[in-house]
Amino acid sequence: MGSAGSKLEKALGDHFPEGERYFGLENFGNTCYCNSVLQALFFCLPFRQQLFHYYAANNNNKYHTDAQSQSQSQSQSQSHAEENLLTCLADLFLQINSSKKKTGVIAPKRFVQRVKKQNESFRSYMHQDAHEFLNFLLNELVDILEKESSTKGSPATSSSSSSGGPASLANGSHPPLANGVNKEPHVTWVHKIFQGILTNETRCLRCETVTARDETFFDLSLDIEQNSSITSCLKNFSSTETLNAEDKFFCDKCCSLQEAQKRMKIKKPPHILVIHLKRFKYIEQLGRYKKLSYRVVFPMELKLTNITSTGDEDYADREYSLFAVVVHVGSGPNHGHYISLIKSHSNWLFFDDETVDMVDESNLTNVFGSVQEYPGNTDHGYILFYECIARGKGEKIKESEKEEKEKE
């Protein structure tokens, strides 16, 4: 990677972002699913900043890691009782961030070992799913922070995040976020960055009573269609569905099964919006999963129009900017490779395990997908990361009103 690193430095020249580091990650036998997600999270600046804030707050009294002498402390750190997935991730990101070199390769060995120790699903050398790994990682981090919050003086929550998480949900609904345990919502900094709220509205067609149920999410999984766009996928996600025949809805007011209309809307969008494109579909005739190479166009800038719930128009014109794409390379779900395309300081970069190169923004069209059933290009966008860059008008008005009240 020395030549590749120097090549990248030469390409950026005087425009190399001050204080930034571009490092490839070593592959430990089909761990590309892990590497691609880690790169997206490293360049998710709110996440990186909160992770370092957590590290600084915990380093003196929780665990010991010296990023400057990482190679010496790795074997010793494994025996520390306090070590967990969060500390391993913080160590890895700090090792990259504090490197004297601007580019290079780092081996995330301790982190990968911890992942395999925590979840047996990732222990084999078989092809793994990047989306499943992202879900596992975020929920595991939440689990750790929630456990730490129950101990005295734990900084599991942080007010320095730029987006707020809900203290409670409407109707008292709060589905499990970690290990299937249903509990009172506790807002960690992971929630504040990634968590949004969906509202599931069901209207009884007999009595017209609307039942609303809120649920939280860390990412949106969207069904995809051929030659479509993220906007159309989001509209389909929030389209109205009629419940009839065997799918009738039990109406509490009617005390019986009734025909109803159901729709899912975004009640509160997250600061970082993660969109998972459902490219792997089970085909009953084949008796197996098949990869959908459909062409799905995703914009650099995204507005949440027509998918926010009625009465919550505050977020309707909220704007998002794409900063990372995890790409699945391969023709099938059980084999292939993962890479990531990352936007950093106005530059787009290509991360393929140990390799890091610059790439033109126009090249992102190559991972939209194909209109052909058996395309020659099997690089397809799989997980999209958008960051909120402009709040909705309603949000701004409420914030102004709050500031005025504080002045009074």
User: Which one of the listed residues 32, 34, 233, 251 is annotated catalytic?
Assistant: 32
For the question of residue 44 being annotated catalytic, the response is: no
Burial class (CB in 10 A: 0-12, 13-18, 19+), 310: exposed
Per the structure block, which two tokens stand in for 310?
Answer: 């009625």
How far is the C-alpha of 24 from the C-alpha of 124, rounded, in Å? 22
- Cα radius of gyration rounded to whole Å, the chain: 22
- Answer yes or no: are the C-beta atoms of 94 and 67 closer than 8 Å: yes
Q: 92-127 burial string, b = 16+ CB within 10 Å, else e?
A: bbbbbbebeebbbbbbbebbbebbbebeeebeeeeb
Q: Which residues contact 347 (CB under 8 A, 6 or more apart)?
A: 12, 15, 17, 358
User: Which one of the listed residues 174, 276, 328, 337 is annotated catalytic?
Assistant: 337
For the question of residue 32 being annotated catalytic, the response is: yes
How far is the C-alpha of 65 from the C-alpha of 79, rounded, in Å? 12
Per the structure block, which two tokens stand in for 208?
Answer: 């017209």
Residue from 2, 40, 18, 74 nearest 350 by CA: 40
- Phi, psi (degrees; rounded to nearest 5) at 247: -100, 20
Helix (H) or strand (E) run with residue 32 in it: helix 32-42
DSSP 8-class letter at 309: P
Residues annotated as catalytic are 32, 337
